[in-house]
Chain A
Amino acid sequence: MSVNTLKIDGQDIAVEEGATILQAAREAKIPIPTLCYLEGVSPAAACRMCLVEVKGSPKLLPACHTAALEGMEVSTNTPKLQSFRRMNMELLFAEGNHVCAVCVANGNCELQDLAIRVGMDHSRFAYRFPDRKVDMSHPQFGIDHNRCILCTRCVRVCDEIEGAHVWDVAQRGEHCFIVSGMNQPWGKVDACTSCGKCVDACPTGAIFRKGSTIGEKERDREKLSFLVTAREKQQWTR
């Protein structure tokens, strides 16, 4: 196995061949914000929060999807990136109906945490107040599309780890939504095994367990990495 050395924010880092910039940065405890990235499932590179500058590349590159190469010089937190990330968060908040005060994930929400982290205190862009649905047809879980940011973690986790492929994305552009089964109510989808991995994967309060109220959402995120490790490396870590 070969090793690549690169510089991230001025810090020399050695990583295994094949590692991404994000993995390299996390190993070195350099924080790069992510939203759609979820360890154990394939990267989507869709939220664009983890974009970094790489010397010699005219374009910003997604850290979750770009291999860490020998001699790379990466900057993860330039003023430009900070301003872009903040604007990206504003777009997300303006796009959906995110009301923290009444959300099950309040205080335990990656979207909320990230907004605070990038210093987003208000949105410069007009709130869209879209008319979105809530589906409570499943006996154990619910999905509130108002809080969905279309990160597709649920889609990937259900397809790649559970193998059920209950979720997918329907429509396009601003009309996109996470669709269950053949556009049926979630409770009617035979493929759903009620495993709850989508609840654990969801970064916001969009997918939740029934019976939990404001600020009560908990996730067992470790379960996902446990399953992937068990499956791929035959190691039972808990």
Chain B
Amino acid sequence: MDISELYRLAERGRSRRKPFRIRCCMAAGCQSSGAIAVKQVLADALSAAGLNDKVELCSVGCLRFCGHGPMIATDPDEALYERVTPENACSILGALNGESSMAPRCDGNQPFFADQLPIVLENSGQIDPSRIEDYIAVGGYESLYQVLYDLTPAETVAAITQSGLRGRGGGGYPTGLKWSTVAKMSGDQKYVICNADEGDPGAFMDRSVLESDPHRVLEGMAISGYAIGASHGFIYVRAEYPLAIQRLQKAIQQAKRYGLLGSQIFDAGFDFKIDIRIGAGAFVCGEETALIHSIEGRRGNPRPRPPYPAESGLWGCPTLINNVETFANITPIIRNGPDWFRNIGTAGSAGTKVFALTGKVQNTGLIEVPMGTTLRRIVEAMGGGVTEGRVKAVQTGGPSGGCIPAQFFDTPVDYESLQKLGTIMGSGGMIVMDDNTSMVEIAQFYMEFCREESCGKCVPCRAGTVQLHELLSKIVNHQATVVDLEHLEALCQMVQEMSLCGLGQSAPNPVLSTLRYFRDEYLARLKPSMLEEVGHHVR
């Protein structure tokens, strides 16, 4: 493969386009609400009407409005249909000719769509994730070529540093700094790992990226491999994402066939291969040292850091671990330049963030917004507010994060502001809660999750989460005393500071954050005989 061949492929892909296009979302969300049957009906109808040379029916990735699936989009009129059924699907064909359609139209100009700034999701819903030709037609793998021929590895790292990109897995560690640390490590063998072990309840950003645009992640990984001097990458993806795994496998196969992965990529003296490793259902394997143990074929237990994986990672070699969304940002940064990226978002948090908006919100789905967008904009304008009652809070960061009460909804979403509010950006799960939601029960739910997912290696996490969960259950059941509440708070602090890895260290966060903003709810749930003692008036 050389660049002229890549351009030729891209040109061929573009010239093949037919006047009309029907894009059917084939991501996991829409498939589970019946998208396969809908597409089959459309395919049959097109053949029957003899329209196959005019209308292209294609499978695309996520069209974002996951709660209203199956979703279908048409071109060139850019109409969007929601909740399409096999019965009303055929009317979409008529709508291409200007007739009215039976399938419910979805307003593509509502804030849910209009306020999005797709960078990571730019191809999501536009291209067929199972066809590398589609990705090449929109400029795919050109950034990899550009990096290999126009930039030195050091310049590539510098570009990422300059872009201000920070790790999208949750911690927000500067990506450029991580790359340059691994790049500066000596040793012939280095590895790149893509962490696709997305495990937070309610989070599906990484799954959607992998299902909708797998090649973007592969290209980002190859660029990082060139930058840090690695020739081998692994994608660690959880077994619960069969569709993502299948599309990744296909994507890797196609890229290899075209010589875009493997030996001598673009004849530039650069080799890079990618293998998939599938998780076995442990949340803790999202922690980088546990993930590395798991790839090595060992029990997925974390180990103390330092040494960090950048120094001693996979099989003791310097290893770069980034999250799916981080890798998905690399290609646009190379293509448009680091300054373009830096100007999006806020001064401290550049770029966009993909959120999975779920919970008691009207519009459930996937959104990508510039950093610094306020929570109010996200929840009330884009999300359309709650289904009934009033918005009470938003939970971010999953079991490691916390709740943000409605009075702080004017806070811009970036790493620092969220931290100040006692939560974290996390990987992007955003769960909206209405005023019927009990915050104590939310804390109990997350603690139960951590209790189940603790690996059991260190005492504070293994035994501490059990006791925290028991104490929370006691409160939920109106059995707890003021002393129990004191023990709860003391134990939270201890588990936070003494645990070995991030799972235990952050497990108390949902409790601490709900205690901070909704302490009244805890007090109201104490043993009835206690209420007077704490001066709480039963309403």
A interface with B by C-beta (< 8 Å): 44-48, 51, 59-60, 62, 65, 83-84, 87-88, 91-92, 94-95, 124-126, 128, 149-150, 168-169, 171-176
Residues on A with beta carbons closer than 8 Å to the beta carbon of B467:
91, 94, 125-126
Looking at the complex, which one of B453, B494, B498 makes contact with A173 (CB distance below 8 Å)? B453
**Chain B residue nearest to A42 in the complex (CB):** B303
Q: Are A91 and B464 in contact (CB under 8 A)?
A: yes
In angstroms, how far is the closest chain B Cβ from the Cβ of A172?
5
A4 to B467, CA, bound (A): 41
A95 to B462, CA, bound (A): 9
Q: 8 Å CB contacts to A: which residues of B356-415?
A: none
Residues on B with beta carbons closer than 8 Å to the beta carbon of A169:
299, 301, 456-457
Q: 8 Å CB contacts to A: which residues of B449-475?
A: 451-460, 462-467, 470
Q: Are A88 and B494 in contact (CB under 8 A)?
A: yes
A95 to B490, CA, bound (A): 18
Question: Does B150 sit within 8 A of A, measured CB to CB?
Answer: no
Q: Are B494 and A176 in contact (CB under 8 A)?
A: no
**Chain A residue nearest to B455 in the complex (CB):** A172
Residues on B with beta carbons closer than 8 Å to the beta carbon of A168:
299
Q: Are B456 and A48 in contact (CB under 8 A)?
A: no
Residues on B with beta carbons closer than 8 Å to the beta carbon of A62:
304
Report if A45-B455 is in contact (Cβ < 8 Å); known contacts: A128-B466, A174-B463. Answer: no
Residues on B with beta carbons closer than 8 Å to the beta carbon of A174:
451, 454, 456, 462-463, 466
Q: 8 Å CB contacts to A: which residues of B428-483?
A: 451-460, 462-467, 470
A48 to B461, CA, bound (A): 10
A-B contact pairs, 24 of them (CB 8 A): A44-B457, A48-B458, A51-B498, A84-B498, A87-B490, A88-B459, A88-B460, A88-B494, A88-B498, A91-B460, A124-B487, A125-B467, A150-B456, A169-B299, A169-B456, A171-B456, A172-B453, A172-B454, A172-B456, A173-B451, A173-B462, A174-B456, A174-B462, A174-B463
Residues on A with beta carbons closer than 8 Å to the beta carbon of B304:
45, 62, 65
Question: Does B491 sit within 8 A of A, measured CB to CB?
Answer: yes
A88 to B463, CA, bound (A): 9
Question: Does B282 sit within 8 A of A, measured CB to CB?
Answer: yes
A92 to B454, CA, bound (A): 15
In angstroms, how far is the closest chain A Cβ from the Cβ of B479?
11
In angstroms, how far is the closest chain A Cβ from the Cβ of B449?
11
**Chain A residue nearest to B499 in the complex (CB):** A48
Q: Are A48 and B466 in contact (CB under 8 A)?
A: no
Residues on B with beta carbons closer than 8 Å to the beta carbon of A48:
458-460, 498-500
Question: Does B520 sit within 8 A of A, measured CB to CB?
Answer: no
**Chain B residue nearest to A85 in the complex (CB):** B498
Residues on A with beta carbons closer than 8 Å to the beta carbon of B78:
none
Q: Which of B455, B458, B463, B494 gathers the greatest number of chain A CB atoms within 10 Å?
A: B463
**Chain A residue nearest to B469 in the complex (CB):** A174
A219 to B487, CA, bound (A): 37
Residues on A with beta carbons closer than 8 Å to the beta carbon of B458:
45-48
Q: Which bracket fits the contact residues of B?
A: 20 to 34
Q: Are B497 and A59 in contact (CB under 8 A)?
A: yes
Q: Are B282 and A172 in contact (CB under 8 A)?
A: yes
A28 to B465, CA, bound (A): 36
A83 to B416, CA, bound (A): 31
The 9 closest A-B pairs by CB, nearest first: A176-B456, A91-B463, A173-B454, A95-B463, A45-B304, A125-B467, A48-B498, A173-B456, A46-B458
A171 to B454, CA, bound (A): 10
Q: Are A47 and B459 in contact (CB under 8 A)?
A: yes
**Chain A residue nearest to B458 in the complex (CB):** A46
Secondary structure of the B side of the interface?
Answer: helix
Report if A46-B457 is in contact (Cβ < 8 Å); known contacts: A65-B304, A173-B462, A176-B462. Answer: yes
**How many cross-chain pairs have Cβ atoms below 8 Å apart between A and B?**
89
**Chain A residue nearest to B301 in the complex (CB):** A169
In angstroms, how far is the closest chain A Cβ from the Cβ of B279?
13
Q: Are A60 and B498 in contact (CB under 8 A)?
A: yes
A171 to B467, CA, bound (A): 19
Residues on A with beta carbons closer than 8 Å to the beta carbon of B466:
95, 128, 173-174
Looking at the complex, which one of A46, A65, A125 makes contact with B459 (CB distance below 8 Å)? A46
Residues on B with beta carbons closer than 8 Å to the beta carbon of A176:
456, 462
**Chain A residue nearest to B283 in the complex (CB):** A172
A131 to B479, CA, bound (A): 25
**Chain B residue nearest to A61 in the complex (CB):** B304
Q: Are B497 and A60 in contact (CB under 8 A)?
A: yes
Q: Are A45 and B456 in contact (CB under 8 A)?
A: no
Residues on A with beta carbons closer than 8 Å to the beta carbon of B454:
172-174
A92 to B282, CA, bound (A): 24
**Chain B residue nearest to A64 in the complex (CB):** B304
In angstroms, how far is the closest chain B Cβ from the Cβ of A180?
16
Given contacts A84-B498, A173-B456, 14 further A-B contacts (CB under 8 A): A46-B457, A47-B459, A48-B499, A48-B500, A60-B498, A84-B494, A94-B467, A125-B487, A128-B466, A169-B299, A172-B284, A172-B453, A173-B462, A174-B456
A102 to B464, CA, bound (A): 26
Q: Are B452 and A173 in contact (CB under 8 A)?
A: yes
Report if A92-B500 is in contact (Cβ < 8 Å); known contacts: A87-B494, A173-B451, A173-B453. Answer: no
Report if A84-B463 is in contact (Cβ < 8 Å); known contacts: A126-B470, A172-B455. Answer: no
Residues on B with beta carbons closer than 8 Å to the beta carbon of A46:
457-459, 500
A87 to B464, CA, bound (A): 9
In angstroms, how far is the closest chain B Cβ from the Cβ of A19?
16
Residues on A with beta carbons closer than 8 Å to the beta carbon of B470:
125-126
A87 to B499, CA, bound (A): 13
In angstroms, how far is the closest chain B Cβ from the Cβ of A46?
5
Residues on B with beta carbons closer than 8 Å to the beta carbon of A65:
304
In angstroms, how far is the closest chain A Cβ from the Cβ of B444?
16
A45 to B303, CA, bound (A): 8
Q: Are A91 and B456 in contact (CB under 8 A)?
A: no
In angstroms, how far is the closest chain B Cβ from the Cβ of A124?
5
Residues on B with beta carbons closer than 8 Å to the beta carbon of A51:
498
A84 to B459, CA, bound (A): 12
Report if A92-B463 is in contact (Cβ < 8 Å); known contacts: A46-B458, A150-B456, A172-B455. Answer: yes
Q: Are B462 and A150 in contact (CB under 8 A)?
A: yes
Q: Are B498 and A92 in contact (CB under 8 A)?
A: no
**Chain B residue nearest to A84 in the complex (CB):** B494
Q: Are A94 and B463 in contact (CB under 8 A)?
A: yes
Residues on B with beta carbons closer than 8 Å to the beta carbon of A94:
463, 467
Residues on B with beta carbons closer than 8 Å to the beta carbon of A88:
459-460, 494, 498
Q: Are B497 and A84 in contact (CB under 8 A)?
A: yes
Q: 8 Å CB contacts to A: which residues of B469-525?
A: 470, 487, 490-491, 494, 497-500
In angstroms, how far is the closest chain B Cβ from the Cβ of A147?
15
Residues on A with beta carbons closer than 8 Å to the beta carbon of B499:
48
A35 to B463, CA, bound (A): 16
A126 to B466, CA, bound (A): 10
Q: Are A173 and B455 in contact (CB under 8 A)?
A: yes
Residues on B with beta carbons closer than 8 Å to the beta carbon of A84:
494, 497-498
A168 to B459, CA, bound (A): 17
In angstroms, how far is the closest chain A Cβ from the Cβ of B486?
9
